Amino acid sequence: MKEVAIGIDIGGTNTVFGIVDKKGNCIIKNSISTDAYDDAKLYVKDLCISIIETIKLTDEDFEIKGIGLGAPNGNYYKGTIEFAPNLKFKGIIPLVDMIKNQLEYPVIILTNDANAAAIGEMIYGGAKDMKNFIMITLGTGVGSGIIVNGELVYGHDGFAGEIGHTIVDPNGRMCGCGRKGCLETYASAPGIKRTVFELLANLNEPSELRDVSCNDLSAKMIDNAALNGDKIALESFEFTGKILGLKLADAIAHTSPEAIFLFGGLAQAGDLIFKPTLYYMEKNLLNIFKNKVKLLPSQLEGSDAAILGASALVWKELDSVS
Amino acid sequence: MKEVAIGIDIGGTNTVFGIVDKKGNCIIKNSISTDAYDDAKLYVKDLCISIIETIKLTDEDFEIKGIGLGAPNGNYYKGTIEFAPNLKFKGIIPLVDMIKNQLEYPVIILTNDANAAAIGEMIYGGAKDMKNFIMITLGTGVGSGIIVNGELVYGHDGFAGEIGHTIVDPNGRMCGCGRKGCLETYASAPGIKRTVFELLANLNEPSELRDVSCNDLSAKMIDNAALNGDKIALESFEFTGKILGLKLADAIAHTSPEAIFLFGGLAQAGDLIFKPTLYYMEKNLLNIFKNKVKLLPSQLEGSDAAILGASALVWKELDSVS
């Protein structure tokens, strides 16, 4: 029987899941709404039903080794989701225990989405031969997963790896976390939008982005404008790379990784984001770290990336146990 | 026979070493000059001779399990000192191999002084029961050693844990490393001196420190002035704690430690430095980390601290191997 793992990515709007083999092929996938549920119990019940039905849709006989879950504020040690600002489930949700009550698999394991992406990169992606690297996810927020000696850093409480909430400027932009000036307010998709509006305010350059409202503006539009040579758009990537590069240099001073992977929407802007980020990362690095650390695009990109990351938790756990 | 380890701390001026038992008692110690030697070979030869002579001075029969060395820019993986700015030995010095040619012990191992202090804290000090903590050394420079899952983080190249060279302000004070605005330029003993002079320039408060030249001013004088209620001195501690607290909050977002230990001269100022540092650390912490992380004085303080730290490397290595 083919050994597979189920990867589940819990987002604020939808929960997507899939059955993934050891090579990272997503055999079948499905999704349910997350935000249709106020009650976590009902959500878990329906999620488990949907998983079982989805498995039945395939003809293959699988040996399901376990479930890996990526969720905002997911706690690896406790199997809980704790005070996730983007989920309707409030407080502490004992998600792993709730699933265990419905489904019996050898491994059921949870962490946050960026940590799952890091483990995905190590199991299926560009970090297969790496023991020390950092995954940075540039999406609606900025997440990170730090790998040291081949293991994910969970820290004392299970919440390590919040590089998106390191502080660029204590008097800077308001962050969703309640503080000011977090990296996330600059280097996320909403962050680069904020930068565009700051530049539109400060500079006189003509720009196609002057016709777009704050609510209508998307990171993709900024990307397209930059490819058209729009100076405001180009400058917004330069500024984003400057801030991100500075904070990546700080991150390197902590754990000295072999590589940093960029993952998510903003990372797909390619050279527009990679070039300034690498330049300012190198510029701000302590001498002993210069020209050593690779800045790479995630090899997990694509519509299944989040499912792959979550499923990889299962293989990693089985590997650690054996 | 009593099992002992030799701890050697290599400083820019002197090299101190001692024979230490498993409980952290320094049985005998000695030192040789470091800066009297331009030639690393001659230095190592004289150091090894001095070690052998020092062992003979005791009546006890020891089983020497190994040598642990703490040195600036010491590389754990390679056993080298690489481009240490404060040592006369230039380039890459294969220190461990050079000692192995003179002395035959099961373990001969090297890392930087802050990493050695972290392992010392774990073996003999206040972190005996901790698996995740950070050691910050506040001396002439600011060093750090990061422990994750009970292991020191060496990173891909052996140089991880340079929190003293994370950047507070890219346009800030000139650092000895050639960049600007490193934490070290604010939170070291020279850093607080610089802060005093900045405050003397900016404020009109009377201060006993207005009578002291830049070269004459010591961190101890600032400490004494603060204890006398001198407003400039008090404000200099407040400012130092503000910067240090901010960067410790960033460090916590990386590896989520159970505790952060402060070690070295500046840490001995007690509440003067601990109170503002803790206040600003908490103020800048992401919600999930608030009121969780202890800020503690190192339990290794005292004249033998550096020797103890270095010797602890041996016990840690033997423990990892067995």
Tens of pLDDT along A191-220?
A: 999 999 999 999 999 999 999 998 999 999
Cβ of residue A232 closer than 8 Å to a chain B Cβ: no
- pLDDT, residue B319, reads 86
CA distance A226 to chain B (A): 27
- pLDDT for A227-254, tens place per residue? 999 999 999 999 999 999 999 999 999 9
Task: Find the distance separating the first CA and the last CA of chain A, reported in whole Å.
Answer: 20
pLDDT of A305 above 70: yes
- pLDDT, residue A226, reads 97
Residue A290 CA to residue B8 CA, distance in Å, equals 29
The answer to whether the Cβ–Cβ distance between B161 and A254 falls below 8 Å is: yes
- CA dist B204 to A107, A235, B207, B210, Å? 65, 42, 9, 11
Query: Phi/psi at B79 (nearest 5 deg)?
Result: 70, 30
B46's tokens: 């004289």
The answer to whether the Cβ–Cβ distance between B157 and A256 falls below 8 Å is: yes
Q: Kindly state the average pLDDT of the residues B242-271.
A: 96
Residue B74 near residue B111 (C-beta atoms within 8 A) = yes
Residue A45 near residue A281 (C-beta atoms within 8 A) = no
- pLDDT for B32-73, tens place per residue? 999 999 999 999 999 999 999 999 998 888 899 999 999 989
Which residues 12-71 on chain B approach chain A with CB closer than 8 angstroms? none
- pLDDT for B264-304, tens place per residue? 989 999 999 999 999 999 999 999 999 999 999 999 977 88
Residue B77 CA to residue B82 CA, distance in Å, equals 12
Closest CA to B119 of B133, B106, B105: B133
- pLDDT, residue B48, reads 97
The answer to whether the Cβ–Cβ distance between A255 and B170 falls below 8 Å is: no
- pLDDT for A4-49, tens place per residue? 999 999 998 999 999 999 999 999 999 999 999 999 999 999 999 9
pLDDT of B84 above 90: no
- The answer for residues whose C-beta is within 8 angstroms of residue A249's C-beta and 6 or more apart is A280, A281, A282, A283, A284, A285, A286, A289, B166, B167
Residue A35 CA to residue A13 CA, distance in Å, equals 5
CA distance A304 to chain B (A): 27
Q: Between A87 and A47, where is the model more confident? A: A47
- The answer for residues whose C-beta is within 8 angstroms of residue A203's C-beta and 6 or more apart is A231, A232, A235
Residues paired with A62 in a beta bridge:
A2
The answer to whether the Cβ–Cβ distance between B284 and A160 falls below 8 Å is: no
The answer to whether the Cβ–Cβ distance between A253 and B163 falls below 8 Å is: yes
| Residue A233 C-alpha from the chain's centroid | 24
Residue with tokens 């992380």: B293
Residue A138 CA to residue A161 CA, distance in Å, equals 14
Q: What is the pTM of this model?
A: 0.95
Cβ of residue A185 closer than 8 Å to a chain B Cβ: no
Question: If you compute the radius of gyration of chain A from its CA atoms, what whole number of angstroms results?
Answer: 20
- How many alpha carbons fall within 13 Å on the CB side of residue A23? 3
Beta strands A259-263 and A294-297, pairing class: parallel
- pLDDT, residue B194, reads 97
- Residue B20 carries which side chain, given as an amino acid letter? V
Q: Which domains does chain B have, with CATH numbers?
A: 2-123+303-321 (3.30.420.40), 133-297 (3.30.420.40)
Q: Kindly state the average pLDDT of the residues A146-169.
A: 96
Residue A120 CA to residue A126 CA, distance in Å, equals 9
Instruction: Give the pLDDT band of residue B86 (cuts 50, 70, 90).
Output: confident
Torsion angle of C-alpha atoms B191, B195, B197, B198, degrees rounded to 10: 130
Q: Which among B158, B161, B292 has the least Cβ separation from residue A157?
A: B292
Q: Kindly state the average pLDDT of the residues B223-236.
A: 97
- pLDDT for B137-174, tens place per residue? 999 899 999 999 999 999 999 999 999 999 999 999 99
Residue with tokens 């404008």: A225
CA distance B82 to chain A (A): 9
A9's tokens: 């990515």
Q: Kindly give the interhelix angle for A305-321 and A113-123, rounded to the nearest 10 degrees.
A: 70
- CA dist A33 to A16, A88, B191, Å? 9, 12, 54
Q: Could you tell me which chain A residue has the CA closest to the CA of B155? A: A256
Share of chain A above pLDDT 70, in %: 99
- pLDDT for A104-132, tens place per residue? 998 999 999 999 999 999 999 999 999 99
- The answer for residues whose C-beta is within 8 angstroms of residue B144's C-beta and 6 or more apart is B114, B118, B134, B135, B136, B137, B161, B162, B163, B164, B251
In total, the C-beta contacts within 8 angstroms joining chain A to chain B are 136
The answer to whether the Cβ–Cβ distance between A255 and B153 falls below 8 Å is: yes
- Residue B125 carries which side chain, given as an amino acid letter? G
Q: Residue B100: enclosing H or E segment and its boundaries?
A: helix B95-100
Three-state DSSP class for residue B164? helix
Count, residues in chain B: 322
- The answer for residues whose C-beta is within 8 angstroms of residue B285's C-beta and 6 or more apart is B249, B252, B253, B293
Residue B322 CA to residue B319 CA, distance in Å, equals 5
- pLDDT, residue A1, reads 86
The answer to whether the Cβ–Cβ distance between A288 and B254 falls below 8 Å is: no
Residue A154 near residue B256 (C-beta atoms within 8 A) = yes
Q: Which among A132, A177, A254 has the least Cβ separation from residue B255?
A: A254
Question: CB neighbours (10 Å) of residue A275?
Answer: 14
Closest CA to A67 of A315, A301, A319: A315
Cβ of residue B282 closer than 8 Å to a chain A Cβ: no
B126's tokens: 């206040």
Cβ of residue A251 closer than 8 Å to a chain B Cβ: yes
Question: CB neighbours (10 Å) of residue B208?
Answer: 13
Mean pLDDT of chain B: 95
Three-state DSSP class for residue B175? coil
- CA dist B13 to A140, A185, B16, B74, B85, Å? 52, 46, 10, 16, 13
Best mutation site among B136, B147, B254 for testing chain A: the one with the most A CBs within 10 Å? B254
The answer to whether the Cβ–Cβ distance between B246 and A132 falls below 8 Å is: no
The answer to whether the Cβ–Cβ distance between B159 and A73 falls below 8 Å is: no
Three-state DSSP class for residue A87? coil
Q: Kindly give the interhelix angle for A189-202 and A231-255, rounded to the nearest 10 degrees.
A: 130
CA distance B185 to chain A (A): 14
What is the ipTM, given to two decimal places? 0.94
Instruction: Give the pLDDT band of residue B85 (cuts 50, 70, 90).
Output: confident
- pLDDT, residue B60, reads 85
A6's tokens: 């189920």
Residue A102 CA to residue A94 CA, distance in Å, equals 13
Q: Could you tell me which chain A residue has the CA closest to the CA of B75? A: A288
Q: Kindly state the average pLDDT of the residues B195-221.
A: 95
Residue B214 near residue B193 (C-beta atoms within 8 A) = yes
Burial of B171 (0-12, 13-18, 19+ CB in 10 A): exposed
Q: Considering only CB atoms, which chain A residues are within 8 Å of B284?
A: 167, 170, 179
Residue A268 CA to residue A274 CA, distance in Å, equals 9
Spatial strand order in the sheet of B14-21? B26-33, B14-21, B2-10, B62-70, B107-111
Three-state DSSP class for residue B238? helix
Q: Which among B148, B253, B292 has the least Cβ separation from residue A166?
A: B253
Residue B72 CA to residue B14 CA, distance in Å, equals 12
Cβ of residue B184 closer than 8 Å to a chain A Cβ: no
Q: Considering only CB atoms, which chain B residues are within 8 Å of A249?
A: 166-167
